Amino acid sequence: MQTNELKQTASKKIPRILIGAASSGSGKTTITCGLLQALINRGLKVSSFKCGPDYIDPMFHSRVIGASSANLDLFFSDADTVRYLFANSAGDSDISVIEGVMGYYDGLSITSSQASAYDVAVTLDIPTILVVDAKGASASVVATILGFLNYKEDHHIKGVILNRMSERVYNEIKELITERLGIAVLGYVPPMPEMVIESRHLGLVTPDNIADLKSRLNFIADVFEKTLDIDQIIALAQTAPEFSHQPQLLTPVEGAPRIAVAKDEAFCFMYKDNLDLLKELGAELVYFSPLHDKAVPDADGLILYGGYPELYAEKLSANQTMITSIKELMAKGLPCLAECGGFMYLHEEMEDAQGHFYPMCGVVAGKTYKTTKLVRFGYVNLTAPKPNWLLKSQESVKAHEFHYWNSTNCGQDLLATKAAGNKSWECSHAAERLFAGYPHLFYRSCPELIKRFLEVCRAFRADTGQIP
pLDDT of residue 339: 97
pLDDT of residue 10: 72
Q: Is 102 among the domain residues?
A: yes
Q: How far is CA 288 from CA 66, 132, 146, 292, 302, in A?
A: 20, 42, 51, 8, 10
Residue-wise pLDDT for 93-147, tens only, equals: 999 999 999 999 999 988 999 999 999 999 999 999 999 999 988 899 999 999 9
- Check whether residue 167 and residue 229 sit in a common domain: yes
- What CATH number is associated with residue 47? 3.40.50.300
- Check whether residue 211 and residue 323 sit in a common domain: no
Catalytic residues: 340
62, exposed or middle or buried, with CB in 10 Å at 0-12, 13-18, 19+? middle
CB atoms within 10 A of CB 144: 16
pLDDT of residue 420: 82
Please count the structural domains in the chain.
2
Residue-wise pLDDT for 418-461, tens only, equals: 998 889 999 999 998 999 999 999 999 999 999 999 999 999 99
Q: Which of 190, 213, 245 is the last residue of a domain?
A: 245
Mean per-residue pLDDT pooled into runs of 10, the chain (468 residues): 49 92 90 93 95 79 73 94 92 94 93 95 98 92 96 97 95 94 96 62 48 81 96 98 83 94 94 94 98 97 96 97 98 97 97 96 97 88 97 97 93 94 93 95 96 96 67
Q: Is 58 among the domain residues?
A: yes
- Check whether residue 363 and residue 410 sit in a common domain: yes
Q: What is the DSSP string of 61-93?
A: HHHHHSS--EEE-TTTS-HHHHHHHHHHHHTT-
- Check whether residue 234 and residue 216 sit in a common domain: yes
Q: Which of 215, 245, 275 is the last residue of a domain?
A: 245
- Check whether residue 335 and residue 405 sit in a common domain: yes
Q: Is 468 among the domain residues?
A: no
pLDDT of residue 6: 41
366: phi > 0 → left, psi -120 to 50 → alpha, else beta; which?
A: left
- What CATH number is associated with residue 410? 3.40.50.880
- Check whether residue 15 and residue 131 sit in a common domain: yes
What is the biggest distance separating any 2 CA atoms in the chain, rounded to whole angstroms?
75
- Range(s) of the domain holding residue 452: 252-463
Q: 243-245 and 10-12 as β-strands: parallel, antiparallel, unpaired? A: antiparallel
Q: Which of 218, 245, 272 is the last residue of a domain?
A: 245
Task: Spell out a b/e string for 30-56, using b for 16 or more CB atoms within 10 Å of the CB, else e.
Answer: bbbbbbbbbbbbeeeebbbbbbbbbbb
Give the DSSP H or E segment for 172: helix 167-181
d(CA 350, CA 284): 31
- Check whether residue 239 and residue 267 sit in a common domain: no
- Check whether residue 64 and residue 148 sit in a common domain: yes
- Check whether residue 236 and residue 266 sit in a common domain: no
- Check whether residue 53 and residue 182 sit in a common domain: yes
d(CA 468, CA 466): 6
d(CA 17, CA 98): 6
- Check whether residue 240 and residue 373 sit in a common domain: no
CB atoms within 10 A of CB 332: 11
- Check whether residue 160 and residue 298 sit in a common domain: no
Q: Is 322 among the domain residues?
A: yes
Closest to 170 measured CA to CA, from 141, 130, 148: 141
Its pTM stands at 0.90
